[in-house]
Structure 1
Amino acid sequence: MALGLFRVCLVVVTAVINHPLLFPRENTTVPENEEEIIRKMQEHQEKLQLEQLRLEEEMAQLVAEKEALERVAEESQQQNNTRTAWDLWSTLCMILFLMIEVWRQDHQDTPSPECLAGDEDELPGQEGTPLRGLTLPNKNTLGHFYEHCIRGATADAARTREFVEGFVDDLLEALRSRCNRDTDMEVEDFIGVDSMYENWQVDKPLLCHLLVPFTPPEPYLFHPNLWCSHQSAPLDRQGYGQIKVVRTDEDALGCVCGKTKLGEDMLCLLHSKSNGLRPGSEAGELLCAPNSPYLDALQVMKWFQTALTRAWHRIAHKYDFDLAFGQLDTPGSLKIKFRSGKSMPFNLIPAIQCEYSDLYFVSHLAREMAGDVPVSSTDWLLSFAVYERQFLRMTSKALPEGSCHLSCLQIASFLLSKQRRLTGPSALSSFHLKTALLHLLLARRPADWKAQQLDARLHELLCFLEKSLLEKKLLHFFMGNRKVPAALGLPETVRLAEPLNLFWPFVLQRSLYRKTMDSFYEMLRNAPALISEYSLHISADPATPPPKAGVL
């Protein structure tokens, strides 16, 4: 134990002696590289300061980026909210526009409220147009002009119709007598249509339009294809159709041969390989287009003109006048030439009845009715002339006695006829005037067509026509018009079809539209002076005929 204590004491003494603070060594010296160490420490300090600055800058940049991201997020949120609100507003506007369009289609296909308002002087029109400031003569002048200039000039219309109908009866009977019922087309009785049979004929000479339906010989029949049965019909083909020539036994649903396979040596009593309509053989004899089962208008024109010529030669000895064709492009345009030098024109229009209705396909009325000629000779125009006559007759029964609806149409047609002779024809025709009148008849009350309201209704008719021209939209009265009375018997396929715009060519043909508008406004400017001039001339000298057409 004594040895252990001795060792501890020895260690303590040795540590005390070797401590540098208590007993410093005399040979201790400062290292020679002290300055270099100080310099390195300063450099290290500077590096630390630079690193601190860089870290501070990076921290500031991170803070700025974070703030920018927060701002972008806020702006994006605001834009999303704005876009959502805008989308909602756009959707509401679109729904509103659709509702307005549906309402307009249902209610605005008739004359606008401006035209049907109580104030007849406030009519829609573009600023500065003649119609807005148009002042027609007073009721007395207008009535006097109509009675003496229009009604007096067409007083012999009944006698003209009677004479033409008697002659046409004889002519068609001669045509039937020369036809072979087994191989030739069968001609039916004529149907009087248009202005002469609707009592609003104005132009001289008086012109009768007569539809002459014809049917093919047995066992064939005509199968019309309406444009409204095809939803993809182009605009220029709407209102037209094709007529397919088929056999009556082609669609025998109860025949067994169409459902079972017969042996090679077994034949059906109703069908055989020779019964089919072969292009180029029987089709040519049935007036079809080459290599086609569809009826060709050019073939019909040649056949009809040839048949009329033969029929006239058969009965020519009975009459003391000559018969000649009027227009070469119209198959039934005929003219009676008397020995005195006078002539009496009339039109026989070959037509095909459409499915036991009063619709008829005609081949040569396209230029007058639609302002365009069919591109294909197999396209036939659908004529509503019989329905137009029936509608006017039905409406007249509900109108007051001596109503002015036909007087309005006659005066407007008279003005259009004079303008045509002055500046040449335009795309506006008497068919458009009659269509506008039919729309007004459907929209107006019967009491609004009294004879005393002739000036107001004439003003309204011109207003409606101007509005249609400005909008380039005049809907066909029957096609797609669900307001047509059901008692008229119009086929549902046509009544529920898409409406047909008669002014659609104006959308594409700007020069035609401009010419038509210029002619229309010039007609309006000349109307007051023309009516007054004719009225004064008649009042001054009743025995003197009116001035020649075209002299304004």
Structure 2
Amino acid sequence: MALPLFRVCLVVVTAIVNHPLLFPRENTTVPESEEEIMRKMRAHQEKLQLEQLRLEEEVARLAAEKEALEQAAEKDRQQHETHAAWDLWSTLCMILFLIIEVWRQDHQDAPPPDSLGSEEDELPALGGAPLRDLSLPSKAELGHFYDRCIRAATADAARTREFVEGFVDDLLGALRSLCGRDVDMEVEDFVGVDSMYEGWQADRPLRCHLFVPFTPPKPYRFHPELWCCSHPVPLDRQGYGQIKVGQVGHTLGCICSKTPLGEDMLCLLHGRSARAPPSCEMPDLLCAQEAPYLDTVQVMKWFQMALTRAWRPIAHKYEFDLAFGELASPGSLRIRFRSGKCVPFHLTPVVQCEDSDLYLVPPLCREPSGGGPASSTDWLLSFAVCERHFLRMMSKALPEGACHLSCLQVASFLLSKQRRLTGPSGLGRYHLKTTLLHLLLLRRAADWKAEQLDVRLHELLHFLEKSLLDKKLHHFFVGNRRVPEAMGLPEAVLRAEPLNLFRPFVLQRGLYQKTLDSFYEMLRNAPTLIREYSLHVPSDHAGLPPKTVAL
């Protein structure tokens, strides 16, 4: 009983003590605590909002960077695809062009025999070309012009050749008697080349062109180095070669320092005796300085001095004077009689390539073509003897009285008259002869009968015009696999890349335009010129003689 009563009293006392009205508590800080809490909550909320904004900006920045990277990757991929497609098309086009070029070369090198010689064959048409409107005189007028103007002007060609050959033979004999076999160059027998020996000299003055091969004394030897037999060379050196001076059975070099020479003996490489001190009175070197290669300028100087020394002992035997002719061509000579008549001719020192009919000649003896060698040690490879042999071989297969040489004579005559009117251009007689050589292989033998002179002349001019417009005229022998094996050309020459004789026109626009204008003017003047010369042949075709230098 006491225990439950005690529990009731304890509950009552506890309720009274905890009643708020009887014992109020101090709660003045509650409001302040709530306000602080609210302030902190607002500050925290603002902080969260700022953090949210920062995160949103960061997300937006990352999204922009990702989009930019994707765009750059897409652009790179598109460019790569474009370049890949362009490279593919370029490769396909290059392969296509190579196939077309190979087919074209094969088609040109091996034309079907049934289509080469037909009278209906036509060269590729030239749309709007002025040559299509060219009207040459009739066969009768052309024949009359040839007989009256060309044949009459060259009637004494055989007698002129005989006279010049006899004199040159005597001159070279005197030169050999003055030269020492152990120290001087040895000259060999001359070789006749060019139009006077090929039968197509067309204009006066009649001019013989003679090659004079020379060799060094023992133990020296010439080693020709052609552009097609060595490493690849620049395009401007194609067709040239160099001549190295060496010793037989020894390495290339000089023995003047090892072998005692006489006081009056000279070394061809160094121009002085091993014992003699250097002197400015020594003769010019035949080789380039510090190189064992023959120098064309030095060789021409030596040849001129040698001819001058050879002429003096025999001058009393002849009733004429000998002088150097054109100063621009060191090999040009002129015989002048007391009556005033002149007989010009060319002597050119050359080096034979082994045992072939190829010769290396100084480039300054050739007709200008708008380009030249890069070095004085570059010698031009001449096929003049091969061309003479080929024309003789073709003449035996052509009908009697064939018109191929007559055609070349008429074209050469027109070109020479045009050059006197407008001056020299990039077109020369050698280009005319090259064109004829190509046509001789393209036409049957029966197409060169005498009565077809007008047709073949028109075709030659047509071929030449097309070559000028294309700026491409290939050398007849270099890289031409259709050349008969009987010519005996070196395999390296036949396998070489074709040599474009009109390459200077690609590099020199001014020369090309002048040549083209001169060629078309020649075509326009041709009918009138042929008719005028058929009626009246001037007594002097040569004009004023050039300046000469007496020997």
Q: Aligned equivalents of 2:288 and 2:83: distance in 1?
A: 62
User: What residue number does 1:44 align with?
Assistant: none
The offset of 1:291, in angstroms, is 3.1
Does structure 1 residue 495 correspond to structure 2 residue 494?
A: yes
Q: Aligned equivalents of 1:153 and 1:389: distance in 2?
A: 22
The offset of 1:465, in angstroms, is 0.8
Indicate conservation of the 8 Å contact 2:225/2:241, yes or no. Answer: yes
Alignment of 1:62-461 (within 5 A): 91-108=91-108, 118=120, 123-124=125-126, 127=128, 129-251=129-251, 279=270, 281=272, 287-292=285-290, 293-365=292-364, 367-368=366-367, 370-461=369-460
Q: Aligned equivalents of 2:230 and 2:345: distance in 1?
A: 35
Change (3 A) 1:288 1:306: closer
The offset of 1:374, in angstroms, is 3.1
Indicate conservation of the 8 Å contact 1:480/1:495, yes or no. Answer: yes
Q: Give the unaligned 5+ runs of structure 1.
A: 1-72, 253-267, 538-543
Change (3 A) 1:506 1:366: farther
Alignment of 1:10-21 (within 5 A): none
Q: Aligned equivalents of 2:203 and 2:243: distance in 1?
A: 34
More deviation, 139-148/426-435:
139-148
Partner of 1:118, secondary structure, is coil
Q: Aligned equivalents of 1:114 and 1:473: distance in 2?
A: 21
AA partner of residue 159 (structure 1): R
AA partner of residue 426 (structure 1): S
Change (3 A) 1:110 1:154: farther
- TM-score for the superposition, normalised by structure 1: 0.76
AA partner of residue 287 (structure 2): A
The percent identity for this pair of structures is: 69
Q: Aligned equivalents of 2:357 and 2:198: distance in 1?
A: 16
Alignment of 1:502-517 (within 5 A): 502-517=501-516
Q: Give the unaligned 5+ runs of structure 2.
A: 1-72, 262-266, 275-281, 544-551
Partner of 2:345, secondary structure, is strand
Deviations 1:381-425 (A, max 9, x none): 111110010111111111111111111110100000000111111
User: What residue number does 1:34 align with?
Assistant: none
Change (3 A) 1:366 1:343: closer
- TM-score for the superposition, normalised by structure 2: 0.76
Indicate conservation of the 8 Å contact 1:228/1:493, yes or no. Answer: yes
Does structure 1 residue 545 correspond to structure 2 residue 545?
A: no
Indicate conservation of the 8 Å contact 1:176/1:187, yes or no. Answer: yes
Partner of 1:162, secondary structure, is helix
Q: Aligned equivalents of 2:173 and 2:271: distance in 1?
A: 31
Indicate conservation of the 8 Å contact 2:369/2:504, yes or no. Answer: no
Indicate conservation of the 8 Å contact 2:435/2:464, yes or no. Answer: yes
Partner of 1:147, secondary structure, is helix
User: What residue number does 1:471 align with?
Assistant: 470
Q: Aligned equivalents of 1:295 and 1:441: distance in 2?
A: 37
Indicate conservation of the 8 Å contact 1:242/1:380, yes or no. Answer: yes
Indicate conservation of the 8 Å contact 2:369/2:427, yes or no. Answer: no
The offset of 1:349, in angstroms, is 0.9
AA partner of residue 153 (structure 1): A
Change (3 A) 1:212 1:86: closer
The offset of 1:343, in angstroms, is 0.7
Q: Aligned equivalents of 1:463 and 1:282: distance in 2?
A: 59
Q: Aligned equivalents of 1:309 and 1:84: distance in 2?
A: 70
Partner of 1:131, secondary structure, is helix
Q: Aligned equivalents of 2:232 and 2:402: distance in 1?
A: 43
Q: How much is the aligned-residue C-alpha RMSD, in angstroms? A: 4.6
Indicate conservation of the 8 Å contact 1:369/1:431, yes or no. Answer: no
The offset of 1:302, in angstroms, is 2.0
Indicate conservation of the 8 Å contact 1:220/1:246, yes or no. Answer: yes
The offset of 1:229, in angstroms, is 2.5
Partner of 2:475, secondary structure, is coil
The offset of 1:196, in angstroms, is 0.1
Indicate conservation of the 8 Å contact 1:216/1:222, yes or no. Answer: yes
Indicate conservation of the 8 Å contact 1:110/1:440, yes or no. Answer: no
Q: Aligned equivalents of 1:318 and 1:550: distance in 2?
A: 28
Partner of 1:481, secondary structure, is coil
Q: Aligned equivalents of 2:235 and 2:339: distance in 1?
A: 48
